[in-house]
Each structure stands twice: as C-alpha cells, then as structure tokens.
Amino acid sequence: MSQTVLVTGSSSGFGRAAVHRFLDQGWNVVATLRDPSRWTGAPDGRLLVTALDVRDTASVLAGVAAAVERFGRIDCVVNNAGVGLFAVFEGTPERIIEDVVDTNLYGPMRVIRAVLPHFHRQGGGRIVNVTSSNVTVPSTLMAAYSASKGGLHGFSEAISYELSLRNVEVKVVEPGLSPGTNFVGQTTARFGSSEVPAPYAAYVQERAATFDAPPPPGYFATDDDVAAAIHEAAVDETGRFRWRVGADALDFARARQASDEDYDAWRRSHFAPAR
C-alpha cells in the first residue's frame, strides 16, 4: 500500500518541489496551501490539493481530516509552510513579528498536535520540519525570523525524544538560501515596507544589496535539492536527525564548530556594520 504524506506550504518553492518528489516516488500526497486555487498542475489520483492555514487551528484540523478521509492514513507530515522577514526589529510592528512566529513556529506545532492522534491509532509516523540555516548562524536583520526558526529547531529536537516512545520520528531539514529566495521582496510583498529608523538606513541598504550579488555557481541549494533532502528524511531509518542543504548551510555549520573566539571573529566579519 502506498504511503501518504501531507505537505504544508505547497503553492511554490520547497513545498511544491516536495509534492512532486513524493509523487515521483510513488506516495499519495496531500498538498496543502492557504488558497487551493493557487495550485496549478495536472490532476493525479494520488494527489489531494486542499486548504490548510497553519495559523488557524480549525483549518489545520479540517486539512488533516480531509487527508485521512481521502487516503485512510497519514504516514508523514512535512511542515514546510513558512514566511521570511528581512527588517530592522526596532522598526517592525508587533503584528508582523507575531505573524512570523505564528506561521513558522506555532503553525508546525498546530499541525503536529492535529496529526498525532492519527499516528497513534496507526502505530507511528514521521514528522519532517523545514527550518533554516539561520538556526545555525542567525543572520543580521532577520532577528524575528531567526527566533522563529531557531524555536522550531529546538522544539523539534526536544520533542523527538518523547515522541519516540510512540514510534513517531522527528527530522529537520535545514536549507540555506535558494536561488529564488528574496527576503527583501518577501517582506515588502507580504507585510509592506517596515519602518527603517534613520540610524539603520545605510546598513539596511548595504545588507539588502548582498542578496543581489550573484553566488558562485551551485553554491545555493535549489528547490529540488531541498525536496530530495525532505524525501530522504521521510524514509530514513538510520536515526539521523538533521539534513543541512546547500554549500552556504554547510559553511555556516563549519563556522559554528570553530572555537568561540574564532566564531565571534567570523560572524563580525560577515555581519557587523562598518564603523
């Protein structure tokens, strides 16, 4: 019998690529997104496209119920839905920070709460949470985003021990930037322009320009690279917990493994404002 995976945030990027990866591997797939009309693609008997807003408990419960009604079970949940934020913390309205944390941290918690009863009835399951390389190295002007993804990583690792008692495995996939990532554009499109207090203006422009600089070929992970890691985590039987994806994510990991003194020098060289 084919296994079933539910993927949040399936409208584009990592989530959409993951949907196609699992379909290619023979899974039943529940592609969830806030607005199902945004899904484009040919119909498939192993694909259910349904609404699920991770910020709303009723929507989460309805999406999980629709998955179980269609396929009879859920074997794996991929918590991919998330939102970026590139902004000065001091100039960011509280409602925006709350939305980022609600989507990136509380959202996966809601999905996990909703799916655990189904996992327990069938004797186990798998959770794959998509975090960020900001978990390893919190990046400048991404304080709220780093807090939300760092919280998701800590939550994932901590809950993995207790859920192992119920045959539920928890994994994390930690992507770096991808070629399509545009934190500045995402922030403007989703929230409008946050206020940039005058003392920060030059630094914000300097850092925003780094997103436009072309990376070395192959340096950043593609959506397909991340989707492959998500699928690998979903079927892994080795006990591995963490998948870092992208050369930048691996560079961050190496920097963090240095001595405290060397890491402090490295992070200041990368992110500290010029004086």
| pTM (two decimals) | 0.94
Query: Cβ(19)–Cβ(47) under 8 Å?
Result: yes
Q: What is the C-alpha to C-alpha distance for residues 55 and 44, in angstroms, rounded to an integer?
A: 28
Q: Is the pLDDT of residue 186 over 70?
A: no
Average pLDDT score over residue span 211-234: 91
User: Is 263 part of the annotated catalytic residue set?
Assistant: no
Residues 38-69 pLDDT 10s: 998 777 899 999 999 999 999 999 999 999 99
Q: Are 231 and 173 in contact (CB under 8 A)?
A: no
Between 149 and 182, the more confident residue is 149
User: To 5 degrees, how large is the angle CA 260–CA 174–CA 65?
Assistant: 140
Alpha-carbon distances of 240 from 20, 73, 163, 197, rounded to whole Å: 24, 24, 15, 44
Check 106, 145, 200, 203 and give the catalytic one: 145
Q: Is the pLDDT of residue 156 over 90?
A: yes
**What is the residue extent of each domain of the chain?**
4-271
- The CATH architecture annotation of domain 4-271 reads 3-Layer(aba) Sandwich (3.40)
Give 113-131 pLDDT, tens digit per residue: 999 999 999 999 999 999 9
Distance CA(62)–CA(48), nearest Å, equals 13
